[in-house]
Amino acid sequence: MQIIKLAKEHNLNEFLAGCRHSPYVQSYEWGAFQELSGSEVMRYGFMEDGSLSGAATLIKRRLPMKMAYSYCPKGPVISDKHHLTEGGSGKLRDFVTGLASIGAAENCLFLRIKPATGAEGLGLPMVLEKTIDIQPPKTLVLDLAMSEEDILNGMHQKTRYNIRLASRKKVEVIEGGEEYFEEFWKLLTQTGNRDDFRLHQKEYYKSMLESFKGAPGTRNSHSIKLFMAFYQGRMVAGNIVSFFGDTVTYVHGASSSKERGVMAPYILQWHCIRLAKQLGYGYYDFYGIDESKWPGVTRFKRGFGGRVLESTGTYDAVLRPGAF
């Protein structure tokens, strides 16, 4: 297998958009955003029959003693046609092995991977160590091929009630820009303290919203938008939502500790689901559930229905066993 460095003309986004449950953290724009945040980003792939058949966006993290490691969030990714064949795991194994060789030549201690099909059964020619999950290993995905009526019927009765209650309370949902960021940040800080979430630095979220300004609805481009719910003129909830490939992803959410009785997060989430469906996306990903770590948030997300998808988690392919 010949692994190549990907340039823009290799149409990374077009390839990813053609994969089911397109992973937004592999997009060209996400890599550019990571570069703005100070990371070194490399993009690799392999070709078959003249077209891209596998891709990996690698984020290089520096370690002491002039060492480093490379992280491939929700990847590497191989085409859906390979997932459906017996040789698919062999293609993924060869791809990971090639990426590991590149990493070893660049003084990487390990290659951190999280392919959709799992890593432990690939038969890689190096030690695999289970490690921390940076991306949630379990998520909830709603199939947008259903009608709005069927989506509503698939929700928990209490969730439907809360959506209607927020509507009766005249909670208003709008898409916002940079002028709303400071108010959203206050809500996000409240939410992190209340629900024990670890937050990024303030500039991380601000830069994210500034870096993904494209219009949703174009499968091959990646946009991230801020949606907000207002009650009596005050922002009471906000969502940061990613639009990429066939999937819309609820990336971050915030809500006020006051006015919780107006149920703003419910109608805000329903607005985003309806918009994703109207724009022609295939899936709405609630991005991470965990009954033990986040019981309240998980209960909230599960109320909207959907199917649980669970990966085997994140692994480190050890490249320098003596130093690992």
Q: Which CATH architecture has domain 155-305?
A: 3-Layer(aba) Sandwich (3.40)
Q: How confident is the model at residue 84 (pLDDT cuts 50, 70, 90)?
A: very low
What CA–CA distance (Å, rounded) separates 57 from 104? 17
Domain ranges in the chain?
Answer: 3-134+312-318, 155-305
* Sequence letter at residue 49: D
- Residue 136 φ/ψ, nearest 5 degrees: -60, 135
Give the pLDDT of residue 138.
92
* Residue 52, CA distances (Å) to 16, 22, 140, 310 in order: 10, 15, 29, 26
Q: At what angle do helices 202-211 and 181-195 cross, to 10 degrees?
A: 130
CB atoms within 10 A of CB 147: 10
| pLDDT (average), residues 244-266 | 96
Better pLDDT: 124 or 16: 16
Closest CA relative to residue 208, chosen from 185, 231, 183? 185
For residue 34, CA distances in Å to 60, 71, 123 come to 10, 12, 31
- For the cut 70, the answer to whether the pLDDT of residue 231 exceeds it is yes
Structure tokens, 66: 């002039």
Evaluate whether 3-134+312-318 and 155-305 have a shared fold: yes
Strands 67-72 and 247-255: unpaired
Measured distance CA(3)–CA(44) in Å, rounded: 7
Q: State the pTM of this model.
A: 0.93
Most confident of 45-54, 101-110, 230-239: 230-239
Residue 191 has pLDDT above 50, yes or no: yes
Mean pLDDT (whole number) for 28-44: 94
Given a cut of 90, is residue 111 above it in pLDDT? yes
Q: What is the pLDDT of residue 118?
A: 76
Give residue-wise pLDDT tens across range 137-179: 899 999 999 999 999 999 999 999 999 999 999 999 999 888 9
Whole-angstrom Cα distance, residue 228 to residue 92? 40
CATH node for 3-134+312-318: 3.40.630.30
Tokens of 143: 């199939």
Query: Which has more confidence, 252 or 81?
Result: 252
Query: What's 171's DSSP letter?
Result: -
